[in-house]
Amino acid sequence: MRVVATAGHVDHGKSSLVLALTGTDPDRFPEEKERGLTIDLGFAFCTLPSGQVVGLVDVPGHVRFVKNMLAGVGAVDVALLVVAANEGWMPQTEEHMQILDLLDVRHGIVALTKAALVDQDTLDIVQLEVAERVDWPVVVVDSVRGRGLDDVRATLDAVLRNAPAPRDVGRPRLWVDRVFAASGAGTVVTGTLTGGSLARDEEVTIEPGDRRARVRRIESHHEQLDRVSPGSRVALNLAGVDHTDVERGVAIVSPGQWAVVDTVDVALRALPGRALPKRGTVHAHAGSGEQLARLLLLGDDGRFGRLRLSTPLPLAPGDRLVLRSSGAQTTVAGAEVLDVAPARRVADAVERLVLSLGERVLAARPWCTRTEMARLAGDEHAADECSVSVGSWLVAPETLARVRARAAEMVEETSATLSTVAAACGTDVTRLRAALADDPALVIEHDLVRSTRHAGVLDDPEARKLLDALAASPLAPPAPADVGAPLSLVRALARAGAVADLDGIVFATSALDDARERIARLVVERETITIADVRDLLGTSRKYILPIVKRMDAEGVTRRRGDLRIPGPRARRS
């Protein structure tokens, strides 16, 4: 299925054309039928000559209902613009076309309706007027008499064949445009599915709010389906959520896939004659919803801005928003999301926004997993051309080079512990291990980093024997003498940073690093701890606990207060 939205000025015959094409009146409310005025979205289906099924979203044309119009076009990429031959291009024709352009809807057709009301000369003039404003095929139509309906179907068929197919990137998102309670079924939501497929019994999340639900049933084109593909007009029957807790403008997504954010950096495109203030409030239309947002222009040229939404949304780079003035209620600009994890400083933000998508994400998250890349960029492969794989992370080559250079500098004269080098490199031990794993200039042995140019004490078989023994029982280590290690070897290993002598008990440095991290977490969490708490945490005896706690006091991880320990200054940084 493909989805097409109507657009055009009020009373130009959008709903009449949809009725003529589909046999379904898209006006659902009694007041719409009584007044002959569409006030909200309507939906209908038809089959084109090729067999292509089209879901038509009929939108209101009155200026007072632009908000509802925007709810209907936020997820489509093909439009059916309707222009009445007896009136021609009108104000809402212009605004609707501006909105489609800001949303990057590049494909569509123009239906020149009410052709029976004008003579041929007038019809020719209106056709020329339309052709000057939009580069889409124009079809002359009379919905009442049936003139041109087959031409509309054939032309729409051709346009859809040439328009890019809906992308399936495994990241489904359905902006909800209608919610109701179906008798015997419960909550039903409708919308246009984009980005990926959904299956029956699949767990989904309603954002904002991270509310979980299950897809009980799927309907598209009046058919029950087990699975539905992107580009379809869909009704989802959701289990686990009440219809009163869902509203137009929320999104149905797969759990954990999206960054749900209230602040984004965007590329701005103001409409001709419309100026954006340096700071101000706008109505931001995203997907099928609308909300107030604060806009701050970034830089001096007006190209970029920062939007602070009043409600967080599941957004990704490439998403298009329409900005309307909060006072005059006119469309003023479009915004393309560039960054969903904006830099705090404005100067840094502008520098990042001119980068490619992958580089932009890596500037915000130098060590980025593919899952994080998909969430922040909308595509897990966005940084493939500007990153290298380091363990389970994607890292910019310059970031990796910087870490390796700093590590080499640290161990130029002697070895150093992994934790010491990691702190100096501004990273953690796990990432450092991955970064140095295939570095030909450095080697990691027993949680020590050394240069391959230096043999060092770690190459001594007796040293490796002692370190292996300490690693086998890290928090209840054997005495070096019991392993046959002379005092001179222990001193050499201590100078190399491999071991530490605490009141006559020799621990591997890596064991102390682990104990330090665990004790810091515990004392911050509980605020006060005892020796017994540390013993239970580390699972060893008081003999070994006392020198460890004494070292933590000396380092500032803990502070002694009577028989208790409280967080020291280093605990907050651990």
pLDDT tens digits, 350-402: 999 999 999 999 998 999 999 999 999 999 999 999 999 999 999 999 999 99
b/e per residue, 154-188, with b = 16+ CB within 10 A?
ebbeebbeebeebeeeebbbbbbbbbeeeeeebbb
Question: For residues 493 and 466, is the Cβ–Cβ distance under 8 A?
Answer: yes
Cα 316 to Cα 264, 496, 518: the distances in Å are 9, 48, 36
Cα 372 to Cα 358, 362, 375: the distances in Å are 12, 10, 5
The string of pLDDT tens digits covering residues 397-443 is 999 999 999 999 988 877 788 888 998 999 999 999 999 998 988 88
Same fold, 259-354 and 456-574: no
- What is the fold, at CATH topology level, of the domain defined by 456-574? Arc Repressor Mutant, subunit A (1.10.10)
Question: Which of left, alpha, beta for 462 (phi over 0: left; psi -120 to 50: alpha)?
Answer: alpha
CA separation for the pair 394, 553 (Å, rounded): 38
CA separation for the pair 378, 393 (Å, rounded): 17
pLDDT at 456 over 80: no
**DSSP type of residue 441:** T
pLDDT at 455 over 70: no
Facing residues of 389 across strands? 394
CA separation for the pair 355, 365 (Å, rounded): 14
Facing residues of 138 across strands? 110
Kindly report each contact of residues 490-494 with a partner whose C-beta sits within 8 Å and lies 24 or more positions away, as own/partner.
490/466, 492/457, 492/463, 493/457, 493/463, 493/466, 493/467
Percent of the chain at pLDDT exceeding 90: 75
The string of pLDDT tens digits covering residues 153-177 is 999 999 999 999 999 999 999 999 9
Torsion of CA 466, 471, 472, 475, to 10 degrees: 110
Q: Where are the domains of the chain?
A: 2-162, 173-253, 259-354, 456-574
* End-to-end Cα, the chain, rounded Å: 54
CA separation for the pair 550, 545 (Å, rounded): 8
Radius of gyration of the chain (CA): 32
**DSSP type of residue 344:** S
Question: For residues 529 and 557, is the Cβ–Cβ distance under 8 A?
Answer: no
Cα 180 to Cα 183, 244, 534: the distances in Å are 10, 8, 56
Nearest to 172 by CA among 153, 159, 191: 191
Kindly report whether the peptide bond that precedes residue 208 is cis, defined as omega within 30 degrees of 0: yes
Is CATH 2.40.30.10 what the domain over 173-253 is classified as, yes or no?
A: yes
pLDDT of residue 21: 95
Instruction: Map residue 58 onto helix, strand or coil.
Output: strand
CA separation for the pair 464, 458 (Å, rounded): 6
CA separation for the pair 523, 521 (Å, rounded): 6
pLDDT of residue 572: 66
pLDDT at 242 over 80: yes
Domain 2-162 architecture: 3-Layer(aba) Sandwich (3.40)
Facing residues of 78 across strands? 107
Instruction: Map residue 437 onto helix, strand or coil.
Output: coil
The string of pLDDT tens digits covering residues 486-497 is 888 888 888 777
pLDDT of residue 454: 66
CA separation for the pair 402, 387 (Å, rounded): 14
Nearest to 269 by CA among 73, 136, 89, 99: 99
pLDDT of residue 550: 94
Superfamily in which the 259-354 domain is placed by CATH: Translation factors (2.40.30.10)
The string of pLDDT tens digits covering residues 520-556 is 999 999 999 999 999 999 999 999 999 999 999 998 9
Instruction: Map residue 538 onto helix, strand or coil.
Output: helix
Give the mean model confidence (pLDDT) for residues 250-278: 94
CA separation for the pair 429, 448 (Å, rounded): 11
Work out the pLDDT band at 573, boundaries 50, 70, 90. Answer: low
The string of pLDDT tens digits covering residues 60-90 is 888 888 888 999 898 899 999 999 999 999 9
Give the mean model confidence (pLDDT) for residues 37-57: 92
pLDDT of residue 510: 87
pLDDT at 36 over 80: no
Q: Which of 192-196, 336-340, 481-485 has the lowest mean pLDDT?
A: 481-485
Token code pair at residue 116? 């029976």
- Sequence letter at residue 508: A
